[in-house]
A and B are shown apart, each in its own frame.
Chain A
Amino acid sequence: MSTATSTPTGTGSEPGRKPIHKHTQPSKRGRMQQRWLPWAFLAPTIVGMGIFTLLPIIASIALAFFRWDIISAPTFVGFDNFAEVVQDPTVRVSFINTIVFVIVAVALQLGLALGLAIMVQEKLPAWLRVFFRSAFFFPLILSAASVSIFMRYLFNEQFGVVNWLLSIVGIPAVPWLTTPTGSAAVVILVYVWQNFGFSFLLFIGGLASIPVETYEAASIDGATGWRKHWFVTLPLLSPTTLVASVMAIINALQVFDQPYVLTRGGPGDSTRTAVMVIFESAFQRLEFGQASAIGVILTLIIMAITAAQFRLSKRFVFYQ
């Protein structure tokens, strides 16, 4: 407080000593300040969250019960949108694709991030560690759309660099983006390449927090190589793994940019994801009610999966 040296509650005028505050009853103004000041500081965030997050969520839930094309007035249709969405084969396929994508992409992302984090942290000199940390994180700061456009050229069946490289070792051209398996593989590959850097950094942080003594103790007990990682690193990294997996799954469930730019969901519906269907329903077919209904379903799925993860974490996460 600015009045520290002038109030009778302190002896701050004495050189070299901090003022001592007596535990007196604060004034009415002080009590008001204590009560409202935290809220005043929180207000901008609360208002921002309310306007830009909470309101759209509420509006989206409400919109799921209406038929609305932006231009005409909305019409209340009850649960019709949900019924139509559930019966729509494209929506069903997109949800299956999304789940498959999440399982494969998240497993690859976490596996790659963990493996590289251990490698970088253990085996490399400090300057190389810095280099790899930056190099692995770099794709994350690039625009997903730009990366995907670039990758489309790389994976072009006729003229792409990838097939040219394969041809050098005698492998015939692979139809990367024009077959269901090829396009799904490319979408996953591009997504994992672009996103594993974040998990990598989390694991690097997690690894740094494991005490060296624990490894030394394990060594004294005769643990070497893989056994150290299996019995020391992985259990002690489990809180980091939980955070990384929750974030990776939530992000992967919302994948849009890569499949949209690389394949537009094709061939067929092979790379169409749930968020793509939301976008197509809302902004291309002008069915905002149906788009909202799909959004509500996706939100419930994300919430259920996240809750399940935290529930399971009680059994698998080891806190020091």
Chain B
Amino acid sequence: MSGTNGALREFTRRSALTALGAGIVGVTAASWPRLTGADIPGRGDNSLSIAIMGTAADAAARQKVIDAFAKVHPEIKVKVQAIQAVDWKDFFTKILTMVAAGTPPDVVYVATEGAQLFAEKLAHPLDEFLRRDADHMKEYFADVHPSLVEAFMYKGSLFQLPIDWNAANMYYNTASLRSAGLERPSDNWTHTDFRSTLAAMKKAKPADFTPYYWTNRLFGGVVPWLYANDTSFLKETKSPGGEWLWDGFYANDPTRSLRSGGYQWLEPNADDPRVFESFDYLRGLVKDGLGVRPEEGGGSALIGLFASNRIGTTPAGGYWVQGLHEAGMTESDFDVQFFPKWRTQRHQFGTAGYAIMRTAKDKDAAWEWVKFSSSREAMQIVFPTPNTTPARRSMVNEQLYAGTGPRNWKVFYDTLDRFPTTGPIPAPPQQAAVETALMKNVSLAVSGDERQLKDALSSMQRDLELALRRQP
């Protein structure tokens, strides 16, 4: 039947094309819900969309809080969107992209690094809500150190309630300390004591051991050394205002007189002789093989190295405890102490909490979420393990650290209680540019000779001037 072959081929080809077309239409129709974007929180319904930094597993872990919230507020539907990011800067970039795309979340979990950027551009102040619910909120503020709250004040208004926080304390490997013939450092150990400790550790350990490991970043890098030396790479001043909050919630606090309308970082300070002095100290540690040249990135990779006794000391917050525990360290394998003293023993801390976006559809509902999240009930659900330090003093207790250590867990909250001038990460609204200016010069500053250090600090001063002149 060769005469019909052509027609048969035509028919078959056409049928195949029709089937393909039908298939494409079918597949498109079948996957329609994903194509509409209805899955994106905040789109398609009136639920409160909340963005947090983390993985899908972190979002799932928040479900228990959402369930607890639903019992109190069944009328408010909540969706949590976890945004995976390398660091906070990366997370804020993604939030800003969502803003640009016209799909901003209603509430965002923001750390100190982005607090002033959000306050300046994106967030809605909590003042009116706090005044309205003052009676309810008294219990929260009585349990939270005012330093944490002050970190979220901006130009006299409060933009977030601290949920968790971490100070740059000094972790040490107890085995390394013992092998160097040393006891636990004293609470008021100095930077020279610290150097001696590192030297003793290095002497007692083999070549692949690093006495002091630090990373090049805004938290826990060079800044704690600057704070300890009573300086910073930015000039720190404070805004007036905020009396409504301090007089309303912290009137009897012994540090009331220290409180303000929020921190301001308006000018660079890299040319301060004390900044040079601090950098020179770190340069000396690097030069003598007591500390590493700092690399970029977070500290998560360090946990394994610390747990395998290859690192003697490193600055970190309470967030490290659970990681070390999971890496196999027991309560007696590691401990924590205050950051060494220099001219002061002022520490550096970072905190985080929910910010309500100016674009939030229902700000009252958003406030109810923020308020609930600051309750003891919600915080106990969110922080079952010591993978951060809860902002509520009453929750930093024996029970939280039982079975994980460290033995001296009291150091975490005592950092605020004993050193009330302990300050937040310097993060003006231009934080991203400021962080870049700092980080790009730190490695050069501590890796060469004195001339290279001076050049790096001059470069940092120039970069910071440019960064602060720019609008966020």
Contact = CB atoms under 8 A, between A and B. Distances in A.
Interface of A: 2, 4-5, 12-16, 18-19, 69-71, 88-90, 152-153, 156-159, 175, 177-180, 263-269, 272, 280, 283-287
Interface centre among B14, B292, B305 (most CB of A within 10 A): B292
B301 A264 contact: no
B121 A71 contact: yes
A302 B148 CA distance: 50
Contacts of B433: 280, 284-285
B443 A268 contact: yes
Given A13-B3, A69-B121, 20 more contacts: A5-B7, A15-B3, A16-B2, A70-B99, A71-B99, A152-B295, A158-B213, A158-B292, A158-B310, A175-B447, A178-B294, A266-B296, A266-B439, A266-B443, A268-B440, A268-B456, A283-B93, A284-B89, A285-B430, A285-B432
Interface in B76-103: 89, 93, 96-97, 99-100
Contacts of B7: 2, 4-5
A12 B5 CA distance: 11
A267 B455 CA distance: 13
B6 A4 contact: yes
Contacts of A16: 2-3
Interface in B410-454: 430, 432-433, 436, 439-444, 447
A70 B310 contact: no
Contacts of B463: 90
Interface centre among A179, A264, A287 (most CB of B within 10 A): A264
B208 interface: yes
A69 B120 CA distance: 12
A158 B210 contact: yes
Nearest to B440: A266
Interface centre among B89, B295, B310, B439 (most CB of A within 10 A): B295
B10 interface: yes
A71 B122 contact: yes
Contacts of A280: 432-433, 436
A267 B440 contact: yes
Contacts of B441: 268
Nearest to B441: A268
B301 A153 contact: yes
Contacts of B403: none
Contact of B293 (A69, A71, A157, A284): A157
B388 to A, nearest CB: 24
Given A159-B305, A267-B447, A284 B440 contact: no
28 contacts: A2-B7, A2-B10, A4-B7, A4-B10, A5-B7, A12-B3, A12-B6, A15-B2, A18-B6, A71-B121, A71-B122, A88-B466, A89-B462, A153-B301, A158-B310, A178-B447, A264-B439, A265-B436, A266-B216, A266-B443, A268-B444, A268-B459, A272-B440, A284-B89, A284-B433, A284-B436, A285-B433, A285-B472
Q: Which 9 A-B pairs have the closest CB atoms?
A: A267-B443, A284-B432, A178-B293, A264-B296, A283-B93, A15-B3, A70-B100, A268-B444, A285-B433
B31 interface: no
Nearest to A269: B440
Contacts of A158: 208, 210, 213, 292, 310
Interface in B250-301: 292-297, 301
A160 B295 CA distance: 13
Contacts of B430: 285
A134 B294 CA distance: 37
B295 A283 contact: no
Interface string B183-201: 0000000000000000000
B36 interface: no
A14 B430 CA distance: 82
Nearest to A12: B6
B310 A159 contact: yes
Interface in B154-175: none
B470 interface: yes
Nearest to A158: B210
Interface of B: 2-3, 6-7, 10, 14, 89, 93, 96-97, 99-100, 121-122, 208, 210, 213, 216, 292-297, 301, 305, 310, 430, 432-433, 436, 439-444, 447, 456, 459, 462-463, 466-467, 470-472
A69 B472 contact: yes
Nearest to A70: B100
Contacts of B440: 264-269, 272
A272 B437 CA distance: 13
Interface centre among A69, A152, A264, A286 (most CB of B within 10 A): A286
Nearest to B433: A285
Nearest to A88: B466
Given A13-B3, A69-B471, A71-B121, A177 B295 contact: yes
Contacts of A285: 430, 432-433, 467, 470, 472
Contacts of B439: 264, 266
A281 to B, nearest CB: 9
Given A4-B10, A71-B122, A158-B208, A286 B296 contact: no
Contacts of B216: 266
Contacts of A266: 216, 296, 439-440, 443-444
B148 to A, nearest CB: 26
B216 to A, nearest CB: 8
Contacts of A286: 96, 472
B93 A178 contact: no
Given A266-B443, A285-B433, A152 B96 contact: no
A134 to B, nearest CB: 31
Contacts of A4: 6-7, 10
A5 to B, nearest CB: 6
Contacts of A152: 295, 297
Contacts of B93: 283-284
Contacts of A89: 462
Nearest to A3: B10
B37 to A, nearest CB: 17
Contacts of B2: 15-16
Contacts of B305: 159
Contacts of B443: 178, 266-268
A191 B259 CA distance: 51
A285 B10 CA distance: 60
A190 to B, nearest CB: 15
Contacts of A283: 93, 96-97
A179 B463 CA distance: 20
A156 B210 CA distance: 13
Contacts of A267: 440, 442-444, 447
Interface centre among B7, B10, B293 (most CB of A within 10 A): B293
Nearest to A267: B443
Contacts of A5: 6-7
A175 B289 CA distance: 12
A73 to B, nearest CB: 13
A269 B466 CA distance: 15
